[in-house]
Amino acid sequence: MRDIQKNYANKTYLDFSNPEIDKAQKDALATVRSQFGKTYDLYVNGTWVKGDKGTFESINPSNTSEVIGHFQMASAKQAKQALSDAWEAFKTWQYVPVEERAEYLYKMAELIEERRYEINAWMISESGKNYLESDADLCEAIDFLNYYANEAIRLDKGMEVIDSWGDINRTIYIPLGAGVSISPWNFPFAICFGMAFAPIVAGNTVVAKPAPDTPMMGYLIAKLADEVGLPKGVFNFITGDNIEVGETLTTDPSTRFITFTGSKNVGLHINEIAAKVQPGQKFIKRMVCELGGKNAIIVDKNADLEAAATGIVQAAFGFQGQKCSACSRAIVLEEVYEEVLAKVVAKTKALNIGDAKDNPNVTPVVNQKAVDKILYYIELGKQEATLVHGGKRAEVKPEGFYVEPTIFRDVPPTARIAQEEIFGPVVGFIKVKDIDEALQITNDTEFGLTGGFFSNDPATLEKAYREHHVGNLYINRKNTGALVGAQPFGGFNMSGTDGKAGGKDYLLYFLQAKAMTERPMKGVPPVLENFKFTK
């Protein structure tokens, strides 16, 4: 048994204020940037293959003249073949002992650690994250691998049951089959790893389709899987059109489960088309999805206002608000409203904007579509509320997808910028009379992912714990940055299925419980006492 199973702890982030660490990251960036523009293949059934539909470009959002790489456009036929290969691999993978399955994940975690600066450099370049945001993403990937490997070993013991009326009873967890993982661009390494390898370590096989804005991170995952010798067909990496490839995979009658993280509209569409039973389908597909939020931080009149303002800025503008957990509403009691707003504006003005490779506080958003959407909501906000800071595209050279951190005040609770997910660096301030009004407003959206609450009153905090209706509630700290094993992540209502990634329940989405009973016969040793599903 590896020591990590007894001593699991979250990976610590690098300290980029250390000149040696900062230099090491910059050196890795120079190396990675010298490799821009190459062509990368699909990874299907243990083989690197070309796509039937040509290639597409991955663009550096910090500098749109730079091409990260050229990636394959797979066809629907190739997508179906990848799924077929995954089912073929499942025939043997499901019986591989759990300790052996876990070992592949432990090895990948070790390789990520060895290549930390290089992987960070690719993420900085392709997703536009600054150094700390990239390293946090990488650390979460390591945590997912180690944590899920440990959990698979734990669940292999089965469910605790009692014997009854002379019978021997056992209930074990067995894998589902071959499934599909559709991961987002905002956590392109951690979430892609977590959504694919949680099912894999539980004994399933996966076809992974990463977001088209960050295919390099999916390629690096496939490369790691290949390097550790993961059996062919267990993990398949495929890129291509969202309709031709994505819908082909999600509607296929042989797709046993789907993991998805992304927008509410896309997630609901996938849920709808996946729920329709296709001819020849023998099961109800499992859907695990996380669909975003409209998260609020509430500030009480007796709170630490400096800490509250820092938490709002960090949660609203970290990675440009491109987190489903980001703070997009600051709900502040009227007695401290002006003071908190002034502190947030001052802290926001101190943020610097620029190319991710130079490690500024604020970097680009992901693409032009995101710029257009954010600016649309900013213009809408100017009609609904009062603009305090920002409000336009940032002027940064070289040209990239930059938007200024934006703050609105006196936002009506029912305004569209207070109800709809913007997914960008925009936060709206809402003034309230008391905590009851604050809780009523924060809960009055269709989402329920994360929330923050700053107060020094124990009775008020008890009320918040009971009535702030979100999947992840944070008291007296920012409402982003869930840690694997510590804060299982997932939300209520339209925020998704509350799958609680990074928690002890997550692997159960990819397992089914098989109850078995044996009545012993005289002179025949009972088989069930020592039975193992794996071989």
pLDDT digits (tens, 9 = 90+) for 384-406: 999 999 999 999 999 999 999 99
Mean pLDDT of 394-421: 97
Same domain, 505 and 434: no
- Number of compact structural domains in the chain: 2
One domain for residues 106 and 238: yes
Q: What is the pLDDT of residue 512?
A: 98
Question: Would residue 139 show up in a list of annotated catalytic residues for this protein?
Answer: no
**90 C-beta neighbours (distance < 10 Å), count:** 22
Instruction: Please tell me whether residues 464 and 501 are part of one structural domain.
Output: no
Whole-number pLDDT of residue 2? 76
Give the model confidence (pLDDT) of 344-357 as tens digits.
999 999 999 999 99
CATH for 174? 3.40.605.10
240 shares its domain with 163: yes
Q: Is 1's pLDDT higher than 70?
A: no
Residue 383 and residue 508 in one domain: no
Active site residue 140: no
- Does residue 434 sit in the same domain as residue 508? no
Residues facing residue 67 across a β-bridge = 59
Give the active site residue among 118, 126, 133, 290: 290
Confirm whether 532 is domain-assigned.
no
Q: Tell whether 468 and 444 lie within a shared domain.
A: yes
- In this structure, are strands 235-237 and 205-209 parallel, antiparallel, or unpaired? parallel
For 297-312, write each residue's pLDDT tens digit: 999 999 999 999 999 9
User: Contact 452/313 with Cβ under 8 angstroms?
Assistant: no
Question: Which ranges of 202-353 does DSSP label H, i.e. alpha helix?
Answer: 215-227, 248-251, 264-275, 305-317, 337-349
| Closest to 263 in 3D by CA, of 186, 352, 329 | 186
- Please, which residues have CB within 8 angstroms of residue 64's CB and are 6 or more apart in sequence? 398, 399, 400, 401
Residues 456 and 502 in one domain: no
Range of the domain at 385: 295-475
Which pLDDT band, with edges at 50, 70 and 90, does 535 fall under? confident
pLDDT at 6 over 90: no
Closest among 117, 136, 515, 453 to 295, alpha carbons compared: 453
pLDDT tier for residue 313 given thresholds of 50, 70 and 90: very high
Same domain? For 106 and 46 the reply is yes
Look at the block and give the residue holding tokens 């070289």.
Answer: 398
Q: How far is CA 512 from the centre of its chain?
A: 24
CB-based contacts of 213, cutoff 8 Å, min separation 6: 58, 61, 126, 127, 185, 188, 366, 367
pLDDT at 153: 96
Catalytic residue among 139, 192, 289, 324: 324
Looking at the structure, tell me whether residues 278 and 299 fall in a common domain: no
pLDDT tens-place string over residues 24-57: 999 999 999 999 999 999 999 999 999 999 999 9
Whether residue 426 lies inside any domain: the answer is yes
Domain presence at residue 428: yes
Helix, coil or strand: residue 330? strand
- Domain check: are 108 and 43 in the same one? yes
Mean pLDDT of the chain: 97
Residue 31 lies in a domain: yes
In-domain check, residue 133 = yes
CATH number at residue 449: 3.40.309.10
Q: At residue 452, does pLDDT exceed 90? A: yes
CA 160 to chain centre: 31
Please tell me whether residues 308 and 276 are part of one structural domain: no
Which of 455, 496, 448, 493 lies closest to 472 in space, CA to CA?
448
Q: Is residue 176 part of a domain?
A: yes
> Band of the pLDDT at 5, cuts 50, 70, 90?
confident
Question: Does residue 492 register a pLDDT over 70?
Answer: yes
489 within some domain:
no
Residue 104 lies in a domain: yes
Size of the chain, expressed as the number of residues it contains = 535
Question: Tens of pLDDT along 238-286?
Answer: 999 999 999 999 999 999 999 999 999 999 999 999 999 999 999 999 9
DSSP notation for 459-488: HHHHHHHHH---SEEEESS-S----TTTS-
Rounded to an integer, the average pLDDT of 92-104 is: 98
